[in-house]
Structure 1
Amino acid sequence: MENKAHAIAAGLFVLLLGFALAATVAWFQGDRTERVHYTVVSRSGVTGLNLKAPVKLRGVEVGHVEGIGFDPTDARQILVDIAVDVAAPVSTSAYAQLGLQGVTGLSFVALEEADAEAPFKRAEPGARIALRPTLLDRLAESGPNLVAGFAETATRLNAVLSDDNRAQLGEALVQLRQAAGDTSRLMAALQPAARELPGLLKDADAATQRADAALRRVEALAADGQQLAQDLKARAAMLDRLEAAAAQVQATSRNLELALVGDTPPRTRPLLSDISAASRSVERAANEVGEQPQSLLFGRGARPPGPGETGFEQRQKTGTK
């Protein structure tokens, strides 16, 4: 009996020790972190996502997946229940994506900020977070369209590279080679002219300067001509006044001669004759200036030779006056 009692006591001790060890392990392995629950809503698949899959916020693990199921109100949606550390800064603009855990094929939930510069506002517990497709998901969705596009491109490329088009392309390449050779020869022929071009530009610059100087001289001559025209106009007006004065003097002298010819004393008659001669001289001078106004500037020209003078016969033959 005593041996059996010792055996029972040893067995109970071992059992109690095992329970204590299990409780200790459970105590150390238990998760006592306070969690906040959010719901990730997906309109596409969640391939590779399992329960207890990690949840990361901008690369930092902040929780895990606690449940995956279909939305009872909309069967096209998948609801993923996640538990996140209460201290994790999940904002109202956060969105979720699926990330791959290495090469295992398993996925995790990655939370990202839609607008990192916007003022931070914490999401309420139980809020729904949209799941956005990743780049690989978009490529996978557009894969059939890409394949169809590549097939169409290949078909068109085969049509472009037909035998006739290849022959025409070869001819075009030959003509292009000939054109390149012609261009090289033309450039070689133009090189001497290009070397002479700086000299021609210098000559053109000098000619431009000479033309500018000539233009300034022409402008100066035009200004002088305008001044000369004004002087001639003034002298012509003076000649008109002189002619009018001469006509008035002549008329006055004739009136005096007619008035005094009958009863003028003999001693005043020479004076009247002198006045009449003076008026006729003034009249002749006015007539000559009117016929040759340039004589005021350049002087009177030489009088033509009369009968018996040298050059008279030559003037008669040529008919000059």
Structure 2
Amino acid sequence: METRAHHVLIGAFTIGAFVLALAFVLWMSKTGVDQRYADYDIVFTEAVSGLSVGGLVQYNGIKVGEVRELHLAADDPRKVVARVRLDAAAPVKEDTRAKLALQGVTGLSFIQLSGGAPGSPPLLPTREHPVPVIPSEESALSKLLASGSDIVVTANDLLLRMGEILSADNVDRISATLEHLDALSGALAEQRGDIATAVHQLAEATAAMKKTLATIDTVANSTNALVRDDARKLIQTADAALASVNKMAESAGLLVDDNRAAIGAFSNQGLRQIGPTVLELRETLRSLKQLSDKLGASDSLLLGRDQPKEFQPQ
């Protein structure tokens, strides 16, 4: 009986020691895990379609952890809380931000962390948030999904407009236009020689016009030079002539001033002597006129109107 009791005690002791050892190992492993990883909460204000537990978490393209839990926020069901477990060495700081990203073409989403300036302090637990909270930003995927309905409406409207453009009437018009263009191309091909001749003539006319314009430019330059030089000489000559006239006028004025007394005496005496002479000249002219009238009256003698006819022998 005593031997059996000893075996029970030994078995119980062995089991207890094994349980204690297992608990110690688990505690040590948990301590090691806690030292190697850190938990964070990320609050999204958008739908997290494609994101699931075990999803990837990257920091600037490098894997630093995974999603451990997803649930709606207790105070606001419009928010989604994602608890992630990250490598303890990951540089999560107060200015670190999280957003959703699309993984290839599989349709799966993952969390992309970015930011974290060198001078920013690390993100640590607080009394209000024992698990640190990483702020989130709206992702390009969310914007694309939000604008998906607008894109569909726009695409539908575009298709309707394309249908209107490609209606039967417009197709007929386009076909007629293409036929006209084909006919025009054929006509131009037939007139290729005439078009080449016209282009050649136009080139020759352009060259001749250039030469004419060059000649006109040369003549204009010569005319400008001639007008400029001759006009300057003419102005100088006119200035000299005006100066001479001014000098003559001044001299005449001085001469008049110097001979004013003689001119006055001539006006008083000479004009009185000229008066009778003018009267005599007038009488002489009147006598000459009378004589001319008498000579006109006797035109038979002067003009020979009644002269005898010359005898013509038979």
1:130 to 136, 141, 145: 136
1:211-250 paired onto structure 2 within 5 Å: 211-248=220-257, 250=259
40, 43, 58: which one aligns with 1:41: 43
- Equivalent position of 1:268 in the other structure: none
Q: In the aligned structure 2, how far is the partner of 1:251 from the partner of 1:46?
A: 128
Residues in 2 aligned to 1:235 and 1:150: alpha-carbon distance in whole angstroms: 97
Separation (CA, whole Å) in 1 of partners of 2:160 and 2:168: 15
1:275 maps to none
Could you tell me the TM-score, scaled by structure 2's length? Answer: 0.60
**What do the CA deviations read for 1:269-319 (whole angstroms, capped 9, x no partner)?**
xxxxxxxxxxxxxxxxxxxxxxxxxxxxxxxxxxxxxxxxxxxxxxxxxxx
Q: Does the aligned pair in 2 maintain the 1:68–1:80 contact within 8 Å?
A: yes
Name the residue aligned to 1:266.
none
Change (3 A) 1:218 1:118: farther
Check 1:104–1:173 CA distance in 2 against 1; reply closer, same or farther (3 A cut): closer
C-alpha distance in structure 2 between counterparts of 1:101 and 1:244, whole Å? 117
Q: How many residues align?
A: 248
Is the 1:41–1:131 contact (alpha carbons within 8 Å) kept by the matching residues of 2?
no
Pick closer, same or farther for the CA change 1:127–1:243 going to 2, 3 Å: same
Deviation, 1:177, is: 5.0
Residue 260 (structure 1) aligns with: none
Counterpart Cα distance in 1 of 2:77 and 2:155: 35
For residues 154-206 of structure 1, give each alpha carbon's deviation from its aligned partner in whole angstroms, at most 9, with x where no partner exists. 11111122222222223333445566666986863223322553453244223
The residue correspondences of 1:49-60 to structure 2 (distance < 5 A) are 49-60=51-62
1:210 is displaced (CA, Å) by 2.4
Percent identical residues? 24
CA 1:199–1:97: 2 relative to 1, 3 Å: same
CA distance in structure 2 between the aligned counterparts of 1:197 and 1:151, rounded to whole angstroms: 56
Question: What amino acid does structure 2 have at the position aligned with 1:133?
Answer: S
Residues 1:191 and 2:200 are matched in the alignment: yes
- 1:79 aligns to what? 81
Deviations along 1:110-159, whole A, 9 cap, x unmatched? 2123xx88964533431342153343x44344333322222221111111
Distance 2:20 2:50 in 1: 37
**1:280 corresponds to which residue?**
none
Deviation at 1:50, TM superposition (A): 3.6
TM-score by length of 1: 0.59
Q: Distance in 2 between matches of 1:26 and 1:106?
A: 35
Change (3 A) 1:62 1:74: same
Equivalent residue letter for 2:219: R
1:204 matched residue in structure 2: 213
Given that residues 95 and 117 in structure 2 are in contact (C-alpha distance below 8 angstroms), is that contact kept between their aligned partners in structure 1? Answer: no
Separation in 2, partners of 1:23, 1:103: 46
Whether contact under 8 Å (1:40, 1:131) holds in the other structure is: no
- Say whether the 8 Å CA contact 1:42–1:79 is kept in structure 2: yes
CA drift of 1:218 comes to 0.6
Q: Which runs of 5 or more structure 2 residues have no equivalent in the other structure?
A: 1-9, 126-131, 267-314
Q: For 2:124 and 2:23, how far apart are their aligned partners in 1?
A: 37
Q: Distance in 1 between matches of 2:263 and 2:151?
A: 124
The separation in 2 between residues aligned to 1:147 and 1:32, in whole angstroms, is 48
Structure 1 residues 59 and 27, CA gap change in structure 2 (3 angstroms): farther
- CA separation of 1:199/1:43 partners in 2, compared to 1, >3 Å: closer, same or farther? same
Which residue matches 1:152? 157
Report the more deviating stretch, 41-50 or 210-219.
41-50
Q: The residue matched to 1:31 in structure 2 has which SS?
A: helix
Work out the CA distance in 1 between the residues paired with 2:154 and 2:51: 32
* C-alpha distance 227-182 of structure 1, shift in aligned 2 (>3 A): farther
Q: Alpha-carbon deviation of 1:20?
A: 7.8
- Give 1:249 shift: 5.5
Q: Where does the alignment leave 5 or more consecutive residues of structure 1 unmatched?
A: 1-8, 258-321
Structure 2 CA distance for partners of 1:59 and 1:33, relative to 1, 3 Å: farther
Which amino acid is the alignment partner of residue 108 of structure 1? F
Deviation for aligned residue 1:255: 8.2
Q: CA deviation at 1:74?
A: 0.6
Correspondence for 1:64: 66
Residue in structure 2 matching 1:89, options 88, 91, 98: 91
Shift of 1:101: 6.1
Q: Which residue is 2:33 aligned to?
A: 31
Query: CA 1:238/1:144 → structure 2, altered by over 3 Å: closer, same or farther?
Result: closer
2:221 and 2:118 map into 1 onto residues whose CA distance is 69
